[in-house]
Amino acid sequence: EPEVTQTPSHQVTQMGQEVILRCVPISNHLYFYWYRQILGQKVEFLVSFYNNEISEKSEIFDDQFSVERPDGSNFTLKIRSTKLEDSAMYFCASRVSGSQYFGPGTRLLVL
């Protein structure tokens, strides 16, 4: 069964550094999402992406965040200057219609 993959599985970074989280959605999917889960809390929507542009973003998704689909297969989330409060699990998801398929997540720790 096709699946969404994410790299890296874990990343530790220093506050103020840039990080790029990578996702490979399922190949025929058209809609892409990033979600975030701070430890012990529920999963929150960050951004949705369709037809090479952002279709919706949450208030969490400020100017420090950006997304890109650089080559038709990868879908990336960039955090320009990480803060301590960016420490969380980040999930990528994709869909063609109906249900969303979630990747295994990237656990980001900002020190």
* 74 contributes a contact to another protein by CB under 8 A: no
* 87 contributes a contact to another protein by CB under 8 A: no
b/e per residue, 61-91, with b = 16+ CB within 10 A?
A: beeebebebeeeeebbbebeebeeebbbbbb
Applying CB under 8 A, among 77, 93, 108, 110 the residue interacting with another protein is 93
Contacts of 63 by beta carbon, 8 Å cutoff, 6+ apart: 80
Binding mask 23-62 for another protein (x = CB under 8 A): --------x-x-x-x----xxxx--x-x----xx------
Pair of tokens at residue 34: 């990033």
Q: Which residues bind another protein (CB under 8 A)?
A: 31, 33, 35, 37, 42-45, 48, 50, 55-56, 89, 91, 93, 95, 98-102, 104-105, 107
